[in-house]
Structure 1
Amino acid sequence: MRTVAILLFNEIEVLDFAGPFEVFGVAGKVSGNPHFQVFTVAERGPVYARNGLCITPTYLLNDHPKADIIVIPGGGGYHTDGTPFGSRREVNNEPLLAWIRRSAETAELVLSVCTGALLLAKAGLLDSLSATTHYMAIDSLSQLAPNTTVLPTERYVDNGKIITSAGISAGIDMSLYTVGKLLGKAVADETARYMQYDYWTL
């Protein structure tokens, strides 16, 4: 059974983390053979997501099981006074970036959802790769990762170890794609069917 660590931070987009959590959490449930152990990780808790949802992370950054897969969600923007929040703020959070780099070294796969790609870019993990993100963050990704080929129209982009997705709901499609990549299309289709989710196929 693979372990999946989903990063949390304040002002995170709810579906960015909850969508992948659901996909990996229910994969294999119908057959009675769960394939993933999913947990959340944060610098500190509680975490306040967008629209006030309060979440208690399962573990903190320096105290969690080894993760075979890490998921870096997004969410965030700028206040009216220009100060960043969410992922836009976390791109300057060196302890969090150090955790991403450290975890990526030993993970089998590294996934990002939406503006989580900005965190991968700032951590230096997208250099010379292709990537996508939320359509409103394409320019930001290009600025943070000038050596990355940004593909704004792709639902998700697979570089082998690193997979990025477009905005919010695209994280569900990317996660189902990842289940198929690891376990076969039949398991991915069974998971989507259990969720009653019609997912994109590329």
Structure 2
Amino acid sequence: MKKRNVVILAFDDMETLDFAGPFEVFSVTGQREGDGHFNVFLISENPGPVLAVNGLSVNPHYTIFNSPEIDILIIPGGVGARKVLKNMKLLQWIKETSSKTELTLSVCTGSLILGQLGILDNLVATTHHECIDLLKALAPKTKVKDDERFIDNGRVLVAAGISAGIDMSLYVIEKLLGKKQALETAN
């Protein structure tokens, strides 16, 4: 089986658990049976360290200009997501890349980015509970729910606040590789 490439966008002031939770879930999947089922990478707009919320320094593997093929794209949230909403170069890259992925996922306020880009148009979405109204404003063609931990729209999945990204990642493991593998990963 070909290993899928999971690429997580890294940007300053992203929420640590938004990227680290999915990173760990996808990284450990299948490792007991061998080499794992996913290659997991962090990617950023520019080379060099990215500072997550609370100053955690993260070193992305690639930039948006030299990334490997992306099967699954994950957009984390955090206060830095609001800066991404104003970064036209990064927004264009997200829009183009998400149109070619097998799956595009967002965690927490990462859905604001997908919503502003129209990726959530005519879909159902959620976000961090404090940003529900903002998502509704940014994505008026999206049905926004405040009572779901994560939502599967087929190719586009969104998770509510922070730790919900771990639950969504385990769900994606089940969706792609079956319940047995998802339980093995969770355990």
Query: What TM-score, normalized to structure 2?
Result: 0.97
5+ residue gaps, structure 1, are: 77-85, 194-202
- For 1:30, the equivalent position in structure 2 comes to 32
- Match in the other structure for 1:196: none
- Where does structure 1 differ by over 3 angstroms across 4 or more consecutive aligned residues? none
Identity across matched positions, percent: 54
Q: Which of these residues, 38, 51, 71, is aligned with residue 74 of structure 2? A: 71
Q: Which residue of structure 2 aligns with residue 12 of structure 1?
A: 14
- Unaligned ranges ≥5, structure 2: none
Contact 1:39 1:59 in 2 (8 A): yes
1:90 aligns with one of 84, 92, 97: 84
Root mean square deviation, CA, Å? 0.7
Specify which of 32, 50, 57 is matched with residue 47 of structure 1. 50
Q: What's the offset of the Cα at 1:147? A: 0.8
- Give the length in aligned residue pairs: 184
Deviation at 1:33, TM superposition (A): 4.5
Contact kept? 1:97, 1:122, Cα under 8 Å? no
In structure 2, distance between residues paired with 1:127 and 1:135: 20
Check conservation: 1:126, 1:148, Cα contact below 8 A.
yes
Q: Following TM superposition, by how much is the alpha carbon of 1:88 offset from its aligned partner in structure 2, in angstroms?
A: 1.1
Cα deviation for residue 102 of structure 1 reads 1.2
SS at match of 1:15: helix
Q: CA deviation at 1:100?
A: 0.8
Deviations 1:69-125 (A, max 9, x none): 00000001xxxxxxxxx1112111111111111111210000000000001011210
For 1:125-136, list aligned pairs within 5 A: 125-136=119-130
The structure 2 residue matched to 1:179, chosen from 153, 173, 185, is 173
- In structure 2, how many angstroms separate the alpha carbons of the residues matched to 1:94 and 1:66? 22
